[in-house]
A = this chain, B = another copy of it.
Amino acid sequence: MKESSLTSEEKYFFMNEAIKEAHKALDLAEVPIGAIVVLDKQIIGRGYNLRETTQNALKHAEMTAIEEACSNIGSWRLEDAQLFVTLEPCPMCSGAILQSRIEEVYFGAFDLKAGACGSLINLLEDTRFNHWCYVESEVLANTCADLLSDFFKKIRVEKKRKKKEILEKD
């Protein structure tokens, strides 16, 4: 059984940094998800969702944060590192966490439709793979979830408004 190496204060501090990244996505009208990678209490990688802006299917927050972390320490092995992300990682990002040997994963909201850390499958704690992680869910869950639900609510309101506009023109 793996254990957390961080205090509650550290967890909240670092999740708030991931939330700051999610706001950068929001500023670009991207689904607001943010992530950071931490090593020895220092942030070594940051990322936010950029799928629409880059038109690149791989540009999830976690992927950019992991890529930056590898580049910063000059190694693909992020052993002893922690990853913080506002939403439960999908299969791609969970796989990237396993590939990069990240030790601890903290996420905010559960993703019941696509989550791979407990919701639909549980990749990070599957001991048949050659690496597995300590996983902690629902760190600042409400703040992370509200960011997403507010975003999707605004999209629905905007769609409704446009539909009404078209109907009124006809």
Q: Which residues of A contact B (CB under 8 A)?
A: 51-52, 54-60, 63, 66-67, 70-71, 74-78, 90-96, 98-101, 113-114, 116, 120-121, 123, 126, 128-130
Contact = CB atoms under 8 A, between A and B. Distances in A.
A37 to B, nearest CB: 11
B129 A120 contact: yes
Nearest to A128: B120
A18 to B, nearest CB: 19
Given A57-B77, A90-B95, A92-B98, 6 more contacts: A52-B76, A56-B76, A58-B70, A58-B100, A92-B92, A93-B95
A92 B100 CA distance: 11
Contacts of A57: 66, 70, 76-78, 96, 99-101
A interface secondary structure, majority: loop
A58 B139 CA distance: 26
Contacts of A54: 76
A55 B75 contact: yes
B116 A95 contact: yes
Among A71, A96, A113, the one with the most B-chain Cβ atoms within 10 Å of its Cβ is A96
A52 B101 CA distance: 14
A113 B130 contact: yes
25 contacts: A51-B76, A54-B76, A55-B75, A56-B71, A57-B70, A57-B99, A58-B58, A58-B63, A59-B76, A90-B99, A91-B92, A91-B94, A91-B98, A91-B116, A91-B123, A91-B129, A92-B92, A92-B93, A92-B94, A92-B95, A95-B95, A113-B130, A120-B126, A121-B121, A121-B123
